[in-house]
Chains A and B, each alone.
Chain A
Amino acid sequence: MADTLSPAQTPTQTPTGRVRSVPRLVFTDAEAGALEFPSSNSRSFNYFKPQRLKATMYEDVTVDVQPDPARYLTQNWVYGFAKAPGGYPTEWTAAKSSDWHWFRDPNQEWEQTIYKNNARLVRQVEQNIANARNEGAFERWSPGWSRIVAWHVGAWMHPEHGLGMHVFLPAQRDAPTNMINNAISVNSMHKLRIAQDLALFNLEASEARSDFDGKAHLEAWNDDPVWQPVRENAEKLTAIRDWLEAVVAANLAFEPLVGELFRGGYVMATAAANGDFVTPSIMGVAESDLERDLGYTKDLIGGLTSDQEHGRQNIELVGEWLSRWIPESLAAARSLAPVFSEAENSPVTFEDTLSRARERVRAILGELEIPTPKELDQ
């Protein structure tokens, strides 16, 4: 037995003579290094192999928190679905891996990075909006640009929300490891956050300008023919059962062909020419989110397509998925063409922007050594 006093054995009389019932500090000498004994220096999690020589903080707090019968879960999952096994069945995607646990999020997302990064971004957005309001920037928009922000930029809040809530959020339930699911859950929050940022920006603009129709985005999204293929694409993404197909279709097809095309290719390129410096700064935040999300997506897909056992099969599978989803997203992109000529000053053309979007897809797939589906050029 340890030869130490317990809190109850220590005096509770205070210098003033007042007696209080409080646990007292006791010297226990239970700090590292106080004694040498077997394993007294075993101060790293030793049940997984770090990606590099030493485990990162991210790895320490993420790896193996979601257990796996293929690793240490000897009693297997103790609950099952009515018609499916419990836990995280690898069958929930058609992709195969010789070891799903190899994946590490290149963004190393864990609690601190998630909140620091997202808090920084919401402050950036709030500050930009505050600057614009104080500087009277909203009032300087031309009526035509104001309508574009209300109608088209407003409409864009919806796919961001739909992808966050009904594509990425359900996908983070399904992947076989904690590393993959956490990366997807952060992706989900990026989308939900930027959707809310756009909604609240819309509210701000409608308070600043009497001619700004804060409800126009609803009509645009629900009825404007320009937006219906985008809505169709977004809704179809929510109907995918395979979690990895959903991530591929959203991040490797929809995002470069529709998301970047609209956010960066159109809004960021056109707004400044129309006297608007604030809307591009919000869209720019979404673009920086995408870079992070593309980072984990590319690492994940790249690992699967280079898998020694299943790589070839995974390349074909991802190719099939892209052949299915690229045409959907190209159709959605093309439907946005009329938007590019609505502004009084239109420094970019739709065709140039679409070409860049196609090149972006081609470059991503080239990095992953996945053949470009012929559908991209159709």
Chain B
Amino acid sequence: MPAATARRQSRTKIHDKIQELSWNPTFATPVDKYPTDYTFEKAPKKDPMKQVLRSYFPMEEEKDQRVFGAMDGAVRGNMFRHVQQRWMEWQKLFLSIIPFPEISAARAMPLAINAVPNPEVHNGLAVQMIDEVRHSTIQMNLKRLYMNHYIDPAGFDITEKAFSNCYAGTIGRQFGEGFITGDAITAADIYLTIVAETAFTNTLFVAMPSEAAANGDYLLPTVFHSVQSDESRHISNGYSIILMALADERNRELLARDLRYAWWNNHAVVDAAIGTFIEYGTKDRRKDRESYAEAWRRWIYDDYYRSYLMPLEKYGLEVPHDLVEEAWNRIWNKGYIHEVAQFFATGWPVNYWRIDPMTDEDFEWFEHKYPGWYDKYGKWWENYSRLRHPNGHGPIAFEDVNYQYPHRCWTCMVPCLIREDLVVDKVDDQWRTYCSETCRWTDKVAFRPEYKGRDTPSMGRLTGKREWETLYHNWDLADIQKDLGYVRDDGKTLIPQPHMDLDDPKKLWTLDDCKGYPFPSPNIMLNEMSDQEREEFATQYKAGGPGGRYAGRA
């Protein structure tokens, strides 16, 4: 008997055969767990990637083997003798965040399956579900390897706890919770697939790994390029659903709403985090290496906005041109990334990673890439460097370095860092601050049970204790750090440090160095103000900046 060989069947035949699996139920219909205000009654059938599990599992197994081979090689080849600590420290934040959005994407798939009456799309979404389980666990494993082999495991060792209670956690967490909660299509298609995956995984999973490699870490690119190679299928899933949604004119107003919200929120959150990692986490200051702004212009403005989003206009999609331009304006003219990085560094005592000061070489690169950078941010970073070791002074946030601690944006939970754009409004009987008019609109107009006169009963709500500082209003800083658990195993040295110097214990901040500094909540104080005080505060705040300067101080 000849050796048995697996014959390749026709892909079209296979795909057609698999379509026979589904049927129209007559005894009972699948429970409508996750409501949507979208309608798909007239939805035409669009076929995404024709994925078949028979080929999918071996393909992914092969991809895994390459990843794990690289991991073995990195350890054997002593990769960690060459990684930059400045870079690795930011991975303590990034890799604590990202497995949650990944697993949330898995959990989001039933929302889309339930909402879209198209079995062809269901197949692709089901494969995406297990892809996302893959991504979440492969990223956790990468972090585990870092923890085991990098010089300073502190911060990696408390990773998922720290992500849950840290002052920056919600910034990342909404990029995950937004996939699984609220109107099923708003969450699982527009926010997750159309914007997060199609636009922002380019900077997340392509631009950032490139920077990792430049800092001696070739494992992050290995893992994340393997992840990104699954994303094209996910993008295809989202594209099918948005085309189906566009086929019904009743959806267009909702699509316009959701695209405005999803675009702006993704920009606010992802550009804040990834922009900081790439620009302030690198030691590669070659003048011809691409800045985050340049990468954004290429990957997001040209490849996503101009090549993907704009062509959908002819199908009736209302593209938020103004918000795309304003996002670019914030990055290029308003210093969004630099303001965020400065905020992260200001808040170092309540982080769980270390943040390296910027040096003259960094200054020169920033000035080259972002002309005018030094005048706005240089002095503050010099102060950061000056205050990096404990020497009878407090952490920089509690010293007079002409930096006004910012208010949080109620919607995106990134602080209101571009001071002139601050919006103050009373919503749900509470005075709230917003980083932008769009974030105010998201809270007050979009996430409501009525939109433009139509009922939107399925739309989600913004919930939770959205200002982290509220949890610890006027607590002593050292007590906050203890409560968070950001203390090393000697019971006194802090996990976070504003430098990379592990060689001398005297250079390491301890709980004792942070005693006596009360940490007030800006939002609680705002709500305690009289109307006149609040107006004066807002006027003064908006006149401040850049670089967090108080109004009227150079």
Contact = CB atoms under 8 A, between A and B. Distances in A.
Interface of A: 1-2, 4, 6-9, 21, 23, 25-35, 37-47, 57, 60-67, 71-83, 85-87, 110-112, 114-116, 118-119, 121-123, 125-127, 129-131, 133-135, 157-158, 161-162, 164-166, 169-170, 172-174, 178, 181-182, 185-186, 188-189, 192-193, 195-197, 199-200, 202-204, 207, 214-215, 217-218, 221-222, 231-232, 235-236, 238-241
B213 to A, nearest CB: 7
Nearest to A12: B286
A130 B5 contact: yes
A118 to B, nearest CB: 4
Interface in B317-373: 356-357, 359, 361, 365
A59 to B, nearest CB: 10
Contact of B170 (A75, A161, A192): A75
B64 A122 contact: no
A191 to B, nearest CB: 10
B418 to A, nearest CB: 22
Contact of A114 (B100, B130, B165): B130
A61 B144 contact: yes
Given A23-B214, A31-B151, A82-B182, A45 B157 contact: yes
B61 A116 contact: yes
Contact of A188 (B126, B466, B493): B126
Interface residues of B, number: 137
25 contacts: A1-B388, A1-B500, A4-B84, A4-B283, A6-B84, A6-B361, A7-B285, A8-B365, A23-B213, A29-B81, A32-B150, A35-B503, A37-B152, A40-B153, A44-B157, A60-B140, A67-B100, A75-B464, A77-B177, A79-B180, A80-B181, A110-B141, A111-B137, A170-B110, A195-B21
B445 interface: no
A130 B7 contact: yes
Contacts of B151: 29-35, 40
Contacts of B288: 21
Nearest to A86: B181
A174 B462 CA distance: 20
Interface of B: 1-7, 9, 13-14, 17-18, 20-23, 25-31, 33-35, 52-54, 57-58, 60-61, 64, 68, 78, 80-86, 88, 99-100, 103, 106-111, 113-114, 122, 126, 129-130, 133-134, 136-138, 140-141, 144, 147-154, 157-161, 163-165, 169-170, 173-174, 177-178, 180-183, 213-216, 283-286, 288-289, 356-357, 359, 361, 365, 385, 388, 413, 449, 457-466, 468, 471, 488-490, 492-493, 495, 499-503, 505, 508
Contacts of A170: 30-31, 33, 110, 113-114
Contact of B133 (A166, A185, A221): A185
Which 5 pairs show the lowest CB-CB distances between chains A and B? A72-B164, A6-B283, A31-B80, A38-B488, A61-B140
Given A67-B164, A165-B122, A1 B465 contact: no
